Amino acid sequence: MSRSVHVRRGNNSKKAQRKSRGSPLDAFLPCVSSWFRDRFEKPSPAQNLAWPVLRRGKNTLLLAPTGSGKTLAAFLTAIDTLYRIAQRGELEQGIQVLYISPLKALGNDIHGRTKFQKIIAKGIL
């Protein structure tokens, strides 16, 4: 099975990859990038391609296989952005982030997390 990742923002999907120097994590606040590095060995290909595009604050469609880090790519960018806005004292009350996930993937994710939470609750982990 071929695994591929596509980030689409207009006609500039390749520009984001070419402009990136070093790790895309370097563009995040230290507290955000440290959190990621403490938990994961390295960013996935989906995250490496998505972060430069997402950081521009544009609407983005990220197509990649299940388990490739799409959700974390989106949420880590959103969390970093919210931290920056809050640091400037400009974070307003209300909805700041809208993340849309396919229902099947969302259902599988919820089912998997629920199963994992039951295991934790039973003291197995």
- Average pLDDT (8-17) is 44
121 pLDDT tier (thresholds 50, 70, 90) = low
Domain ranges of the chain: 6-99
Single out the residue of 55, 56, 25 nearest to residue 40, CA to CA: 25
Please tell me whether residue 56 adopts helix, strand or coil conformation: coil
Residue found by looking up tokens 């998505």 in the block: 50
Query: 7: phi > 0 → left, psi -120 to 50 → alpha, else beta; which?
Result: beta
pLDDT given for residue 65 in this prediction:
87
Query: For residues 60 and 8, is the Cβ–Cβ distance under 8 A?
Result: yes
pLDDT digits (tens, 9 = 90+) for 14-37: 443 444 468 899 999 999 999 999
Q: What are the Cα distances from residue 73, in Å, to 22, 41, 54, 121?
A: 17, 15, 8, 28
- The pTM for the full model equals 0.65
Single out the residue of 12, 55, 65 nearest to residue 32, CA to CA: 55
pLDDT digits (tens, 9 = 90+) for 38-84: 999 999 999 999 999 999 987 888 888 888 998 899 989 999 999 99
